[in-house]
Chains A and B, each alone.
Chain A
């Protein structure tokens, strides 16, 4: 279902051409970026702080003006055909942006109204979403009284009130606990499988690696990479693993073709070059009487590439 939804259609969910943004202060946030997100995709837009992610999202969602270029959402220009473009879009911004003094249910009801949804229908949609996000019992509570996680869920529920075709989430899991994060991932995967195109920005790179099929990395207002997650990860020339050992080592082993390092007697770190066989490493270690209990990647694979692409040195 998800793969079928990803097949490029003649009209991309989002098309950005030559987008430039210079703020009144003279800061050039975007230097003419091009980006295309296919209908049904789960797309990661990553970049360090100040890279231009929020500016790009702000422009797509009509919160920020742009200097040059064009943006279309499902073929609708965000300036000339703004109503149709905005009707396709749902936004979960990074910071809480609802009236803290409004009751939870009213926030959803008002938002539905702004999309032309009549109040009777809005009430039903609000109930469905509040139940789905476990907020129904808080429907009459003032939004400021909610916990951080609840506020985050409220923003997602609000963005979904008009069933958008394109959902943009700007760091949706920042500051939420593990359980909520996993529930949110499950929800996002589900709506993506039902055809909703999702664009996600996050600083948790494992989150992007787990959820997204396509990725763009932006740095200093320029797109540094725009490819599938698989192709990007294939660019890795080596991977680093941490192996936990059953018995303590007397000395650090040496195996041709692998760089091994022992930070302590029960831990072995291995650098495996692209194309090298991990099974061969295990066989060699077993032959030397070294039993492995468990293993993990030393760093997130995407993190290494990310740091390379945005110009940081990787240690």
Chain B
């Protein structure tokens, strides 16, 4: 199969993935926007108005980038894990497995779907944010770059979850017990400075903290993590997860008995 044909195959996968979530936009794009509005009202307006500014910003403004990125993370992950698992469950993954599409294209197609959904939700939530908080966008390229890298990383993680999932319960275990705690403890609602030195050090092992830190830096210029080190960490995790995904695909884990 030539490179051109592989690109046609990738295009088909991306169209399929895009249609999959856009067709049910009420279930995929709207809920994160509503959740974010509730966060802004409860944490930003009601509780946040009683709190002091952080880094010269209102609490409402401070939590805005974290809320956007949280939606991006959750939706990129959820899109890939549900798309991949349902393709196993309904067996239409076989359409890809019998075709000449390479494993790399299969992975890129699913991850591409996660990136599209993550960014679509990110834009929707950002549009809602306009009504509640300032969006200074200090470093636009960094903001977009971190959003894309975050989507890729969690799409890859969702893909691995999808490969091992044997029931619909299995696709909610990781988000519930790993993803949500790491996200909430990743500095969305508080600054790292608020923690004791010990917990600050512990928090640095949370990769989501680096993503939110970078995203917030790009969004409003508040630097809480080292830009270069955090970017390298995210890229290193992406490379590692990509390798794991391709190995699992090659072995046929979870898809080829």
Q: Which residues of A contact B (CB under 8 A)?
A: 23-24, 58, 61-65, 82-84, 86-87, 89, 91, 93, 95-100, 102, 106, 109-119, 158
Contacts and interface: CB of A to CB of B under 8 A. Distances in A.
Given A109-B12, A116-B2, A116-B8, A87 B100 contact: yes
A83 B16 contact: no
Contact of A106 (B19, B87, B252): B19
B102 A83 contact: yes
7 contacts: A63-B256, A87-B100, A97-B92, A98-B95, A99-B90, A110-B16, A117-B8
Given A84-B100, A114-B100, 12 more contacts: A61-B98, A91-B94, A91-B98, A97-B91, A97-B95, A99-B87, A113-B8, A114-B9, A114-B95, A115-B9, A116-B4, A119-B11
Contact of A64 (B5, B92, B101, B256): B256
B3 to A, nearest CB: 10
Contact of A87 (B1, B87, B97): B1
Given A109-B12, A110-B12, A116 B94 contact: no
A23 B11 CA distance: 35
Contact of B90 (A58, A97, A109, A119): A97
Interface in B12-27: 12-13, 15-16, 19
B28 interface: no
B256 A24 contact: no
A243 to B, nearest CB: 48
Given A64-B256, A97-B94, A98-B92, A113 B100 contact: no
A106 B87 CA distance: 15
B181 interface: no
A261 to B, nearest CB: 49
Interface in B202-232: none
A48 to B, nearest CB: 21
A116 B6 contact: yes
A117 B98 CA distance: 15
B21 to A, nearest CB: 12
The interface centre, meaning the residue of B4, B6, B99 with most chain A CB atoms within 10 A of its CB, is: B99
A112 B252 CA distance: 23
Given A64-B256, A113-B8, A113-B13, A82 B100 contact: yes
Interface string B233-255: 00000000000000000001000
B98 A113 contact: no
A106 B18 CA distance: 13
A116 B100 contact: yes
Contacts of A96: 91
A107 to B, nearest CB: 8
B124 to A, nearest CB: 23
A113 B12 contact: yes
A113 B101 CA distance: 9
A227 to B, nearest CB: 29
B257 interface: yes
A287 B94 CA distance: 64
A102 B97 CA distance: 18
A87 B98 CA distance: 9
A82 B252 CA distance: 14
B130 to A, nearest CB: 34
Contact of B257 (A24, A62, A116, A117): A24
Contact of B91 (A61, A89, A95, A112): A95
A63 B1 contact: no
Contacts of B8: 113, 116-119
A87 to B, nearest CB: 5
Contacts of A83: 1, 100, 102
A146 to B, nearest CB: 14
Nearest to A95: B91
Contact of A65 (B9, B11, B257): B257
B98 A89 contact: yes
B41 interface: no
B46 interface: no
Contacts of B98: 61-63, 86, 89, 91
A303 B256 CA distance: 33
B252 A65 contact: yes
Nearest to A21: B257
A86 B100 contact: yes
A16 B211 CA distance: 51
B96 interface: yes
Nearest to A85: B100
